[in-house]
Amino acid sequence: MRTLSLRLFRAEAHSTLHWPVMPVVILALLFTACAREKVSAHDATEVDTSATIERQTEPDSPEDGSVRADGTFRIVATTTQASDVTTILAEGVADIEITPLMGAGVDPHLYQPTESDIRAMNAADMVIYSGLHLEGQFDVVFKALNEQGTLIYSLSKPVKEAGFVIGAFDVGLSQSGTDDPHFWFDPRNWEITTVDLAETLAELDPDNADTYMTNAEAYSAQLRDLYTWADEGMRSVPAGQRYLVTSHDAFQYFGAAFGWRMAAIQGISTEDEAGVGDIQGTVQFVVDQKIPVLFVESSIPPNTIEAVQAAIAANGGATQVGVRELYSDAMGIPGTFGGAYIGMIAENVYTILQSYQCAGAQAHIPDWLDSIAIAPPEELLTVDCAT
Ligand SMILES: [Zn+2]
């Protein structure tokens, strides 16, 4: 009975968070229609159907100048992280259009591409996505895009090639043998992605190559400073107390980067529901390890973390919930500190360390580094433990 109610809880919460569900068949049909439109728009003289179909399977080679065919470089970015890094690299480049698909607080594991998303991807010179099956509902769309020759760029690919992708070896059976998709949580991985993406953009759009590469260099330096700052703070908590308990397993890379251990109620994807066993296992773990704080993630409903907290309280124990929600798979609202990659990582560090301080643990928050282009807002620097 409890399993059932938990599952219902999650399904209900998800439906309010995400775009309307579009059945895969309709999606595929819509895609085919859009693909034809795109092909005929590219070459107005080709109106005969057989020629149009043939062209669909022939890739638009980016090297042949199809990027900026009409003067504008059109990029679609799936996640908030993807649109952030692309926007930073493109700063100062004229006639470039970056269309983000997912907004703040959206769960990319469950996000279904909408009709307008598909139109945007069809009209794009390049689609930038996170990869490692993070965008679990995009398989059909990516396959179709690939077949019509749209350039699809995976942000995780260079990280995987460099050997820094973590296998999801210690999660549920349904995910064994897969890679953990949350690679961006180690700023050193994000630097690899930044440089590789800049090189790819420079190749595709050679007139602006210097701008992409200069932006990448400046941003990489900031990512290294962010890592140094975060590492100092996160390692100030005594090693035996460094546990991050969250709803889903998004923080393996974050933990590996800064010497923390992770425990999550769900596995690496939110597509699997959390059951009673997961809740009870987490309760036991939190009690055994005397973990003082649990964290809610901004893109995941808080129900499972609240269930763990309630179960501990029912047994006479006490745990706190973090002073703020953590950003996991989605960043904050664009234009805010947490809406930028650097701010998102930093805000998580502030939230974790302040929450540990509030729980009476030893934790030191280093001064922010002026070498980083954005600075945390005042309200992030202090926290009232009582509220
Ligand atoms: Zn995730």
Reduced to 3 states (helix: H, G, I; strand: E, B; else coil), residue 149 is coil
Separation of CA 97 and ligand 1 centre (Å): 27
**Beta-ladder partners of 222:** none
Distance from C-alpha of 368 to C-alpha of 357, rounded to nearest angstrom = 18
Separation of CA 110 and ligand 1 centre (Å): 10
Separation of CA 108 and ligand 1 centre (Å): 7
pLDDT of 231 reads 98
On whether residue 72 sits in a domain, the answer given is yes
Residue 360 pLDDT exceeds 80? yes
Separation of CA 381 and ligand 1 centre (Å): 27
Separation of CA 116 and ligand 1 centre (Å): 24
Residues in CB range of 41: below 8 A, 6 or more apart: none
On whether residue 301 sits in a domain, the answer given is no
Q: pLDDT grade, residue 11 (50/70/90)? A: very low
- How do 293-294 and 73-77 pair as beta strands? unpaired
Separation of CA 249 and ligand 1 centre (Å): 7
pLDDT of 276 reads 66
On whether residue 43 sits in a domain, the answer given is yes
Q: Which stretch of 181-185, 220-224, 328-332 has the lowest confidence by average pLDDT?
A: 328-332
On whether residue 273 sits in a domain, the answer given is no
* DSSP states along 322-359: -SSPBP-SS---TTSGGGSHHHHHHHHHHHHHHHHHHT
On whether residue 86 sits in a domain, the answer given is yes
Distance from C-alpha of 311 to C-alpha of 227, rounded to nearest angstrom = 36
On whether residue 88 sits in a domain, the answer given is yes
pLDDT of 168 reads 66
Separation of CA 178 and ligand 1 centre (Å): 13
Separation of CA 268 and ligand 1 centre (Å): 6
Separation of CA 50 and ligand 1 centre (Å): 42
pLDDT of 261 reads 92
What DSSP state is assigned to residue 22? -
Separation of CA 271 and ligand 1 centre (Å): 9
- The model's pLDDT over 313-347, given as tens digits with 9 standing for 90+, comes to 998 988 999 999 999 999 999 999 999 999 999 99
Separation of CA 107 and ligand 1 centre (Å): 7
Total domain count for the chain? 1
CATH number at residue 150: 3.40.50.1980
Which tokens hold the place of 38?
A: 């795109």
User: What b/e readout covers 255-282, taking b as 16+ CB neighbours within 10 angstroms?
Assistant: bbbbebbbbbbbbbbbbbbbbeebbeeb
Contact at 8 Å (CB) between 137 and 79? no
Query: How does the average pLDDT of the chain come out, rounded?
Result: 82
Q: pLDDT grade, residue 201 (50/70/90)? A: very high
Separation of CA 294 and ligand 1 centre (Å): 17
Residues in CB range of 224: below 8 A, 6 or more apart: 187, 191
On whether residue 175 sits in a domain, the answer given is no
Residue type, 107: D
**Higher-confidence residue: 77 or 282?**
77
- The model's pLDDT over 23-48, given as tens digits with 9 standing for 90+, comes to 444 444 444 444 333 322 222 222 22
* DSSP states along 213-260: HHHHHHHHHHHHHHHHHHHHHHTTS-GGG-EEEESSS--HHHHHHHT-
Backbone angles phi, psi at 8, to 5 degrees: -60, -45
Contact at 8 Å (CB) between 23 and 29? no
Separation of CA 171 and ligand 1 centre (Å): 13
User: What b/e readout covers 220-248, taking b as 16+ CB neighbours within 10 angstroms?
Assistant: bebbebbbebbbebbebbeeebbbbbbbb
- The residue to which tokens 């309280």 are assigned: 313
pLDDT of 248 reads 83
Phi-psi domain of 68 (left: phi exceeds 0; alpha: psi -120 through 50; beta: other) = left
Q: pLDDT grade, residue 269 (50/70/90)? A: confident
Q: Which stretch of 68-82, 127-141, 193-207, 266-280 has the lowest confidence by average pLDDT?
A: 266-280
- How do 96-100 and 73-77 pair as beta strands? parallel
**Higher-confidence residue: 84 or 34?**
84
Residue 104 pLDDT exceeds 50? yes
Contact at 8 Å (CB) between 366 and 376? no
Structural domain of 29: 2-162
Q: pLDDT grade, residue 167 (50/70/90)? A: confident
Separation of CA 272 and ligand 1 centre (Å): 11
**Higher-confidence residue: 69 or 353?**
353
Separation of CA 295 and ligand 1 centre (Å): 14
On whether residue 272 sits in a domain, the answer given is no
